[in-house]
Amino acid sequence: MAYTILGIAGSLRKGSYNKMLLNTAKKLAGEELNIKIYDISSIPLYNSDEEKENFPDSVKEFKEKISESDGLIISTPEYNYSIPGVLKNAIDWASRPADNSPLNGKPLAIIGGSAGMSGTIRSQLHLRQVALFTNMMDMKKPEVLVTKIQEKFDSDGNLIDENLRDHLKKFLNSFEKWITFIKGSRQI
Amino acid sequence: MAYTILGIAGSLRKGSYNKMLLNTAKKLAGEELNIKIYDISSIPLYNSDEEKENFPDSVKEFKEKISESDGLIISTPEYNYSIPGVLKNAIDWASRPADNSPLNGKPLAIIGGSAGMSGTIRSQLHLRQVALFTNMMDMKKPEVLVTKIQEKFDSDGNLIDENLRDHLKKFLNSFEKWITFIKGSRQI
Amino acid sequence: MAYTILGIAGSLRKGSYNKMLLNTAKKLAGEELNIKIYDISSIPLYNSDEEKENFPDSVKEFKEKISESDGLIISTPEYNYSIPGVLKNAIDWASRPADNSPLNGKPLAIIGGSAGMSGTIRSQLHLRQVALFTNMMDMKKPEVLVTKIQEKFDSDGNLIDENLRDHLKKFLNSFEKWITFIKGSRQI
Amino acid sequence: MAYTILGIAGSLRKGSYNKMLLNTAKKLAGEELNIKIYDISSIPLYNSDEEKENFPDSVKEFKEKISESDGLIISTPEYNYSIPGVLKNAIDWASRPADNSPLNGKPLAIIGGSAGMSGTIRSQLHLRQVALFTNMMDMKKPEVLVTKIQEKFDSDGNLIDENLRDHLKKFLNSFEKWITFIKGSRQI
């Protein structure tokens, strides 16, 4: 069965390696996972006063895209031992209103890479804590923690590391099964 | 000795209880701590491309205010089991460039309150993790974790809870000593 | 369908409130969840040298009980902003060998209470991090975070708080569904 | 000035790489840091009932050694994305009674290594959370996160990696300054 996936990168810069990682996932995904990438750069700073009046248009669109999707893939760098503020800000908007958030029950896959050896360990752990409150259904295994990510792509942004390619394929395959699993559970 | 403190609220909404908490700290602080509150609502989304060109004006100002201060007080709510994206975003900007961030070595006091019983436990723990990377010198004790914060203020935003007032005074007193301590250590 | 659940308390002391909480869960569970409580006090300190020779008898028994169960309920206090060492130690043993641990894929329900207002928030968050590595399938919602737990029981250890009783019943009901859900997913 | 340091390894196995790391730190430390290694393998499982009667002899000794020291160095592996239960258990004992714990205000240095690429990131982060409650004064920088630790020692347990040797020397030098700093602050 084919699923529609919303792909979100946690970094806004053009040459972001985590964007490359997300684009690679999009290419590697077979027909079963149709990944559409959503750019969070137009989502304003969260302010609950605005929420009470009316959600900004970009936020409305973001929430609709989440609602229409069968799952999310978030590709995130690590900033200051945590997830980027811009990513958390987008999630803060999407989590509102608390009793009717499109994040509730949504299957979630997390990937990420860093220039050093940490591979975004702290960032991903923290994103799972956010998923606990928002009730996103984050897949646990396999994890994708890319070390020295700058060595994994050529200058055109193409993946040149075969081990990572194989691991991503396995990851995407598991995510498809995970979505099927979560969807099935809703009928129990 | 008198210290200049930059006070930052993690919520942007006008009637924020964490803003009230910060304002109360400002009033309760004696001559020793001169708390100036900085509004982070004009700080844009972090994008490292812009950093390479030129920091936005609001970010330049924010970084200067931090540099000029002897310490920071951050009053933060908890959004989705973590710190607000808007607060993390402001910290992400202030942390740049990594080798010359005004956050490096800066004394930090953390306060916060929630409507329920958690008192922003998770949010504050996570802010300390961010402080680890950025090398902010967060004071450990006492902690200010305000439960049922909406019951602690009258409709004009005045604190009406004597226990919290006493605790905040003790907290501010400890923070003054903490700053003296950290400043002294730089000479070792 | 009836499930066999292994109940584990994170505190060893006789009058532990978290033991009372676990005993209460055992009583409240209907025929669907048959909770058998396992005492971890005879599990020795983990030492991987012993593992290579032969697991201690008490550890063998503990691992068998986990294997035979359909799920785990862990009732844990919070010691020093984390899970008790004795609980982590039991989990360290059960997690071995890594490629054949009885924890792998096991449904997990977490409950806990504290004398103060934190309700074991930090302890439970951390137990979920341990569950991530060991691939225990921790149920996310509802959470059971009991504040002022000493006021919830009479001197005979009987629950005297109706709200908590109702919440525990709801929790146990959700856990039964969660187990059914996880078991079903293994066939995908 | 010369300081007496208590060194604690988080693993009990004889050939532990984290024991080798601690032994190396002991050798590299100059006259300023006299590191005495304490073996936690005889500390029993924590039970607060025993605490009320009388602390076990091994625990009394452990607490005295901590009291007499000017600081602690903990060398810890990562088990199941956290600190070993045996290490947490020893800390749980040392933290009692809460109003008179020898851990209170004690300078703490954390080191650790793993066979893979994570370098005990999660374990060390969590130990800092425990340090927050127990009010141990953990040094933030530099961090010692050793990846592929099995490649850093020869078969006799001697360090063969020059970069790590230099980093450890720098780390020990910083820790001496940190202790002087913390001791000075107590007079403020």
Residue A93 has pLDDT above 80, yes or no: yes
Over residues A24-44, the pLDDT tens digits come to: 999 999 888 999 999 999 999
* C87 and C10 Cβ atoms separated by less than 8 Å: yes
CB contact under 8 A, C85 and D49: no
> For the CA atoms of D176, D180, D185, D188, what is the dihedral angle to 10 degrees?
180
* D171 and D111 Cβ atoms separated by less than 8 Å: yes
Residue B182, chain C, CB below 8 Å: the answer is: no
Residue B52 has pLDDT above 80, yes or no: no
pLDDT of residue C52: 76
Cα distance from N-terminal residue to C-terminal residue, chain B = 20
Range C133-159 burial, b when 16+ CB lie within 10 A, else e: bbebbbbbeebbbbbebeebbeeeeeb
Cα dihedral sign, D48-D54-D55-D58 = negative
Radius of gyration of chain A (CA): 16
pLDDT of residue A1: 66
Residue D121, chain A, CB below 8 Å: the answer is: yes
Residue C132, chain B, CB below 8 Å: the answer is: no
Q: Greater confidence, D45 or C30?
A: D45
* Min Cα separation D90/chain C (Å): 8
- Nearest chain C residue to A176 by CA: give it: C188
Residue C124 corresponds to which amino acid?
Answer: Q
Spatial neighbors of C88 by CB under 8 A, at least 6 apart, are C130, D79, D80, D82, D83, D84, D85, D88, D89
Chains that touch D (3 or more CB pairs under 8 A): A, B, C
Residue B109 has pLDDT above 80, yes or no: yes
Residue D39 corresponds to which amino acid?
Answer: D
CB contact under 8 A, D122 and A125: yes
List of chain D residues with pLDDT < 70: 1, 185-188
pLDDT of residue D187: 57
Q: And the tokens for A180? A: 């099927």
Chain C residues closer than 8 Å to D138 by CB: none
Over residues C125-150, the pLDDT tens digits come to: 999 999 999 999 999 999 999 999 99
Over residues D66-98, the pLDDT tens digits come to: 999 999 999 999 999 999 999 999 999 999 999
Q: Greater confidence, A134 or C1?
A: A134
* Min Cα separation B125/chain C (Å): 9
CB contact under 8 A, D185 and B188: no
* CA triple D74-D78-D82, angle to 5 deg: 95
Residue C152 has pLDDT above 90, yes or no: yes
Residue B119 has pLDDT above 90, yes or no: yes
Over residues B64-80, the pLDDT tens digits come to: 999 999 999 999 999 99
Q: Which helix (DSSP H) or strand (DSSP E) does residue B181 occupy?
A: helix B162-185
Helix residue spans in chain C (DSSP H)? 17-28, 48-53, 57-68, 85-94, 121-134, 162-185
Residue D1, chain A, CB below 8 Å: the answer is: no
pLDDT of residue C186: 63
Q: Cβ–Cβ contacts within 10 Å for residue B52, how many?
A: 11
- Nearest chain D residue to A123 by CA: give it: D122
Residue D184, chain B, CB below 8 Å: the answer is: yes
Residue A161 has pLDDT above 90, yes or no: yes
* Min Cα separation D187/chain B (Å): 9
* A97 and B148 Cβ atoms separated by less than 8 Å: no
How many contacts, defined by CB atoms under 8 Å, are there between B and D? 29
Tell me the C-alpha distance between A120 and A145, whole Å: 6
Instruction: Please confirm whether the linkage preceding D107 is cis (ω < 30° from 0).
Output: no
Chain A residues closer than 8 Å to D121 by CB: 118, 121-122
Strands C3-9, C71-75: parallel, antiparallel or unpaired by DSSP? parallel
pLDDT of residue C95: 98
Ranges A176-185, C125-134, C155-164: which has the least confidence: A176-185
Residue C41, chain D, CB below 8 Å: the answer is: yes
CA C173 vs. chain centroid, Å, equals 16
Please give the domain boundaries of chain C with CATH numbers for all domains: 3-185 (3.40.50.360)
CB contact under 8 A, A147 and D122: no
Residue D7 corresponds to which amino acid?
Answer: G
* D108 and C112 Cβ atoms separated by less than 8 Å: no
Strands (E), chain B: 3-9, 33-38, 71-75, 107-113, 137-138, 144-146
Q: Which of B85, B158, B160 is nearest to A85 (CA)?
A: B85
What average pLDDT does the structure give for chain C? 95
**Which region, left, alpha or beta, applies to residue D72 given φ > 0 means left and ψ of -120 to 50 means alpha?**
beta
pLDDT of residue A187: 58
- Nearest chain A residue to B133 by CA: give it: A80
pLDDT interval class at A186 (50, 70, 90): low
CB contact under 8 A, A118 and D122: no
- Nearest chain B residue to A87 by CA: give it: B85
pLDDT of residue C53: 74
pLDDT of residue C3: 97
Instruction: Please confirm whether the linkage preceding B142 is cis (ω < 30° from 0).
Output: yes
Residue A121, chain D, CB below 8 Å: the answer is: yes
* Backbone phi, psi, residue B173, to 5°: -60, -45
Tell me the C-alpha distance between A21 and B57, whole Å: 32
Q: And the tokens for D88? A: 């947490």
pLDDT (average), residues C93-108: 97
DSSP letters along C49-71, please? Answer: HHHHH---HHHHHHHHHHHH-SE
* A72 and A108 Cβ atoms separated by less than 8 Å: yes
What average pLDDT does the structure give for chain B? 95
Tell me the C-alpha distance between D183 and C129, whole Å: 35
Q: Which DSSP symbol is given to C100?
A: G
pLDDT interval class at A51 (50, 70, 90): confident
Over residues A96-150, the pLDDT tens digits come to: 999 999 999 999 999 999 999 999 999 999 999 999 999 999 999 999 999 999 9
Which of D125, D132, D188 lies at the smallest CB-CB distance from B140?
Answer: D132
pLDDT of residue A30: 81
pLDDT of residue A135: 97
Tell me the C-alpha distance between A118 and D117, whole Å: 7
Tell me the C-alpha distance between D158 and C91, whole Å: 32
Residue B126, chain A, CB below 8 Å: the answer is: yes
